[in-house]
Amino acid sequence: MLFRLSHITKTYGPVTALRRLTVEAAPGAVGLLGPNGAGKTTLIRTLLGLISIDSGTGEILGLDIRARRLDIRQQVGFMPEDECLFPAVPGVGFVSYAGELCGMASADAMQRAHEVLNYVGLDEARYRPVESYSTGMKQRLKLAAAIVHDPKLLILDEPTNGMDPAGRQEMIELARDLSHGKGMSLIFSSHLLPDVEAVCDHVLVLGRGELLAQGNIQEMKQAHPRTFDVRLKGNTEPFLARLRAVGGDAKPHEDTLRVQLPEGQTPDLLWRIAADLGEQIRYLRPHRSSLEDVFLEAVGG
């Protein structure tokens, strides 16, 4: 088990950030989705042991989130969302300092800093002061600083914020490589659904401090066997009436009808009705929800 939280409540004055949140996640790449103010950052801080929760219990990597805060942070790498830097150091000094703060000896930290900077692709720029870095370089630098001590779990909070498309693609590839190729667990928080989809296997959808949906992305996206999107050439009313008469249902969705077949029927039924009525079916395909649908459905609900 990567982490397990049960009945976690956290309030900041009148604001309830987490409301009796109970959630579990298995090791692997976990996406954290949710609109602004959903409690993603609070959840991450709870996992890092950075905040005192009002009630509830939890553990991460087998460590209690209340009692073993420093040990948790020792084993977790965190890349914060905001722009934040250790000032007045070159890139390699930045990363080695991050390593020393995790308890590495300074020679080890320097060697390791060069390794991870090679990995994230910061080349000669590592000798420049970090203040002169571009946004994309700062993001890579923060990623390097988060993995310098080889954490068991890496938490990325909005890692692709402000990056150009090429940089974003590289960041996604790095995150995917770390989680799928190097066996590091990953919590990837983002508003950008394609990013989460590209990196993660599992997703948690948060809203207003509660868990709205969770599951394997591929399973969530799987085809629905009795739902089809259908477009007819002519009048749809008689078609709808016949469909309802046999126990099916349909409602308009964009320029198609989203048809729900009755129990035990196949799409043949649709062809038969259309043939009886002399209508033309111009479009027919099984409905497959995107992650966006899942997200919007969860948040909207």
Partner 1 sequence: MPIFDQGYQHWQGRLSGHGWRWLAVARHGVKAQLRSWFVRVLLLVAWLPAIALVTTLTMWGLLEQQAESVIAFLQRLLPPEVIAQPRDYRAAVWTIAYSYFFKAELVCSLFLVLIVGPNLVSRDLRFNALPLYFSRPLRRVDYFLGKLGVIGFYLAATVVVPAVGAYLLGLAFSLDLGVVRDTHHLLWAGVLYGLVITVCSGTLMLALSSLSRRSIYVGLAWAGLVFLTHMLSSALIGIRGDTERRAIMQDGIEKWVRDNPPPPSVEMRGSYPIYRYSPPRQDKKDPQQTPEEKAKERWLRDWSAENRELYTRAEAARLAQGPTDWRPVLSYAYNLDRLGDWLLDTDAAWVLLGRTVERPRQMVGPMARSQGVPVPGGPPNDRMLADRMVWQFPWYWSAGALAGVWLLSVFVLSRRVKSLDRLK
Burial of residue 223 (CB within 10 Å: 0-12, 13-18, 19+) is exposed
Q: List the Cα angle 80/84/19 in 5-degree steps.
A: 35
Taking contact as CB under 8 A, which single stretch among the options 65-73, 164-172, 193-201, 248-256 is the one that binds partner 1? Answer: 65-73
Per CB under 8 A, 51 contacts partner 1: yes
What tokens appear for 104 in the block?
Answer: 């590495």
Q: Which residue has the tokens 């905001």?
A: 82
Shortest separation between residue 4's beta carbon and partner 1, angstroms: 21
Per CB under 8 A, 177 contacts partner 1: yes
Q: Which of residues 198-217 bind partner 1 (CB under 8 A)?
A: none
Per CB under 8 A, 74 contacts partner 1: yes
Among 54, 83, 173, 292, binds partner 1 (CB under 8 A): 83
Q: In terms of CB distance, is 147 or 261 closer to partner 1?
A: 147
Shortest separation between residue 162's beta carbon and partner 1, angstroms: 15
Among 1, 6, 57, 71, binds partner 1 (CB under 8 A): 71
Shortest separation between residue 144's beta carbon and partner 1, angstroms: 11
Among 16, 27, 28, 50, binds partner 1 (CB under 8 A): 50
Q: Which of residues 102-131 bind partner 1 (CB under 8 A)?
A: 102-106, 108, 112, 115-116, 118-119, 123, 131
- Count Cα neighbours of 51 within 13 Å in the Cβ-side half-sphere: 19
Rounded to whole angstroms, how far apart are CA atoms 145 and 154?
Answer: 11
Q: Which of residues 149-168 bind partner 1 (CB under 8 A)?
A: 149-150
| Cβ atoms 209, 299 nearer than 8 A | no
Q: In terms of CB distance, is 70 or 245 closer to partner 1?
A: 70
Site residues (CB under 8 A) for partner 1?
Answer: 12, 15, 17, 41, 45, 48, 50-52, 70-71, 73-74, 78, 80, 82-89, 97-98, 100-106, 108, 112, 115-116, 118-119, 123, 131, 142, 145, 147, 149-150, 177-178, 181-182
